[in-house]
A and B are shown apart, each in its own frame.
Chain A
Amino acid sequence: MRDSIVRLEKAAKAFATPEGQTVTALDAIDLDVSRNEFLTLLGPSGCGKTTLLQAISGFVQLDGGHILIDGEDMTDRPPYRRPVNTVFQNYALFPHMTVGENTGYALEVAGVAKAERTKRVGDALRMVGLEGMEGRKPRQLSGGQQQRVALARAIIARPKLLLLDEPLSALDKNLRQSMQIELKTLQHELGISFIFVTHDQQEALTMSDRVAVLSGGRIQQLDTPRAIYDQPKNSFVATFVGASNLFEGEAGSGQLVTKDGLSISHGRQGATGAATALIRPEQFFIAQSGDSAPGLDVDLEQIVFVGSTFELFGRTVTGRRVIAEIPAMRRSLVGEIEQSRRARLAYDPAAVHLLPAEAA
């Protein structure tokens, strides 16, 4: 078993809405985060990501269950006595304090002597690339710089765990990408576990050691980015992470037959019963005459050039929508089908992933 830094046991939380209903924000969640792990929480709006983070930082009181941090039960501890720090979405920098005072705040309240504080503030700011900005006020900084101050402020006291609630969502795309890399590097250097919340699946996949996909207050799947992408546990995860083509039907050995009569080959021998086949758009390729790979014949409705790829939107004879992604270097092929408006989208049966059928 890996060394656990945070453990949630059956953590549950429900809110009463002003309209008099109850919303289950956390539905008996079990979660283990290891030392030095970068875990991302990914899920649609309102699925309970923020609630989960706040349960760990202590701003949300659980209705049931426990939270252990580094083996200690923290369920009833107030936020200021938990070894956890947060980077807030809108940074929450104290406007009446300088960058230096903001950064050193956690040390100040912990009673660290002034001289040492000054030194550690300098170190922390250097770490996030803001050397010598101690004297500025937060409003004199750009959004990206404020973000870095928030980061420096949260790590200066060396918490056991850093929580980041959509920290990059207010930044523009380029800055965002460079911050992603910096965050990852920082996490390595510090050796602190990060729990990171994002809406952006690309961000989740590129940065994390593991990703937890949440929906309706439950963890749908907790796995490495690759496993989440290649072997989603259910159709929610499959559709939420990446684009997907799903075919529900009756599975037989090596074949799945949908209700509308399409037959999909898959690599799994001995599968039986209701199941759903998943084919990612990029697994399709355009079959040329003589190709023996299985495929789907589609009428093309739209071909969209997005730079590195072409996106093909097609429809089978039975009326089912199919999305395929063809690398742009194969543009000659695309030229051909653009003329005919028809194509055969082939795939490798071994790449088809079978999901167990779900209760509707």
Chain B
Amino acid sequence: MKIFATLARGSLIAYTALFFAFIYIPLALIAVYSFNANPVNMMTWTGFTTEWYAQVLGFKTKISENALYLESTSQLVEALWNSLIIATSTTAIATVLGTAIAIAVYRFDFFGRRFYRTIMFMPMLMPDIVLGIALLIFFVNSGINLGLKTIIIGQCTFLISYVFIVVSARLAGMDRTLEHASADLGANEWTTFRKVVFPQLLPGVVGGALLAFIISMDDLVITYFIAGVDVTTLPMFIFAMLRRGIKPEINAIAVMMLTFSFVIASLGLYLRSRQK
């Protein structure tokens, strides 16, 4: 009996180890192979190099003499730049709108509250592709030229939902007696909001904004449909590269992107855990 219990426990632990191995070994592999010097087969190790990183970052390398590579690097930089512009704008808009609606739904009593609460989940649940083509049809029919503007609008429709959910989780957990205490002590509504509600709400707002930023940087499907012909974002660039054929510097790009989102996500989760 005792042996069985130990065995069962052991196999559960082994299983969980496998589970994490499944999640993280591929990520580790890509990090390792991003330093592989083999330009033909990325998975056959022929030596250590940082050339791909140098290449991606636009430094002079042996390969970068080649005109074709130069072009792809400048495209990459442009794609990254586009992604950053889009993510910054969408984050700003979605954070303001998402927070506003969260406050309205959780601090006001009005007809249609439940409707709002339900409808706010829809953009998140809606399959990307459906929203993507719906937006495409809409923009084309209304004569709006596809480009950065349409991407920003399109991403906001679902990013508002994410911000809403994060902020309303915060609002739902807030102690309202503090607000009553503040009002009781003579603070007017605006002062109470500024001094009591907002500071408590801030971690939720920041969390929502970080989430929106990451998701915006990562969005492929919706952006893909409404980007038009002139604008390429980072995920689109990689997607196109994958479809055309893989080049070694994609490893380096991938590792840099992973590092970037790891840092932001860890920061966000760390801040959240500190708040508790």
Direct contact of A and B (CB under 8 A): yes
The chain A residues found within 8 Å of chain B, CB to CB, are: 61, 76, 78
Instruction: Report if B274 contacts A (CB, 8 A).
Output: no
Instruction: Report if B67 contacts A (CB, 8 A).
Output: no
A91 to chain B, nearest CB (A): 26
Instruction: Report if B1 contacts A (CB, 8 A).
Output: yes
Instruction: Report if B2 contacts A (CB, 8 A).
Output: yes
Instruction: Report if B68 contacts A (CB, 8 A).
Output: no
How far is it, in angstroms, between the C-alpha of A255 and the C-alpha of B264 when the chains are bound?
Answer: 82
B7 to chain A, nearest CB (A): 14
Find the A residue at minimum CB distance from B5: A61
- B1-48, CB < 8 A from A: 1-2, 5
B interface, size bucket: under 10
Find the B residue at minimum CB distance from A58: B1
Task: Give 5 CB contacts A-B under 8 Å.
Answer: A61-B1, A61-B2, A61-B5, A76-B1, A78-B1
How far is it, in angstroms, between the C-alpha of A311 and the C-alpha of B2 when the chains are bound?
Answer: 53
The chain B residues found within 8 Å of chain A, CB to CB, are: 1-2, 5
Find the A residue at minimum CB distance from B2: A61
Contacts of B5 in A (CB 8 A): 61
Contacts of B2 in A (CB 8 A): 61
Contacts of A61 in B (CB 8 A): 1-2, 5
B12 to chain A, nearest CB (A): 18
How far is it, in angstroms, between the C-alpha of A78 and the C-alpha of B2 when the chains are bound?
Answer: 10
Contacts of A78 in B (CB 8 A): 1
How far is it, in angstroms, between the C-alpha of A61 and the C-alpha of B2 when the chains are bound?
Answer: 7
How far is it, in angstroms, between the C-alpha of A76 and the C-alpha of B3 when the chains are bound?
Answer: 11
Contacts of B1 in A (CB 8 A): 61, 76, 78
A59 to chain B, nearest CB (A): 11
B155 to chain A, nearest CB (A): 42
Find the B residue at minimum CB distance from A63: B2
How far is it, in angstroms, between the C-alpha of A76 and the C-alpha of B1 when the chains are bound?
Answer: 6
Find the B residue at minimum CB distance from A75: B1
How far is it, in angstroms, between the C-alpha of A61 and the C-alpha of B5 when the chains are bound?
Answer: 10
How far is it, in angstroms, between the C-alpha of A76 and the C-alpha of B2 when the chains are bound?
Answer: 9
How far is it, in angstroms, between the C-alpha of A61 and the C-alpha of B1 when the chains are bound?
Answer: 8
A69 to chain B, nearest CB (A): 16
B154 to chain A, nearest CB (A): 43
B9 to chain A, nearest CB (A): 13
Contacts of A76 in B (CB 8 A): 1
B2 to chain A, nearest CB (A): 5
Minimum-distance CB pairs A-B, first 5: A76-B1, A61-B2, A61-B1, A78-B1, A61-B5
Find the B residue at minimum CB distance from A77: B1
How far is it, in angstroms, between the C-alpha of A324 and the C-alpha of B2 when the chains are bound?
Answer: 53
B112 to chain A, nearest CB (A): 32
How far is it, in angstroms, between the C-alpha of A78 and the C-alpha of B3 when the chains are bound?
Answer: 13
A15 to chain B, nearest CB (A): 14
How far is it, in angstroms, between the C-alpha of A13 and the C-alpha of B90 when the chains are bound?
Answer: 62
Find the B residue at minimum CB distance from A76: B1
B203 to chain A, nearest CB (A): 31
How far is it, in angstroms, between the C-alpha of A76 and the C-alpha of B5 when the chains are bound?
Answer: 12
How far is it, in angstroms, between the C-alpha of A228 and the C-alpha of B14 when the chains are bound?
Answer: 52
A30 to chain B, nearest CB (A): 22
B8 to chain A, nearest CB (A): 12
A133 to chain B, nearest CB (A): 35
A243 to chain B, nearest CB (A): 44
A275 to chain B, nearest CB (A): 45
A13 to chain B, nearest CB (A): 12
B74 to chain A, nearest CB (A): 58
How far is it, in angstroms, between the C-alpha of A313 and the C-alpha of B182 when the chains are bound?
Answer: 51
A178 to chain B, nearest CB (A): 40
How far is it, in angstroms, between the C-alpha of A40 and the C-alpha of B5 when the chains are bound?
Answer: 31
How far is it, in angstroms, between the C-alpha of A61 and the C-alpha of B9 when the chains are bound?
Answer: 15
How far is it, in angstroms, between the C-alpha of A78 and the C-alpha of B5 when the chains are bound?
Answer: 11
How far is it, in angstroms, between the C-alpha of A76 and the C-alpha of B4 when the chains are bound?
Answer: 11
B93 to chain A, nearest CB (A): 45
Find the A residue at minimum CB distance from B1: A76
How far is it, in angstroms, between the C-alpha of A61 and the C-alpha of B6 when the chains are bound?
Answer: 12
B162 to chain A, nearest CB (A): 33
A253 to chain B, nearest CB (A): 56
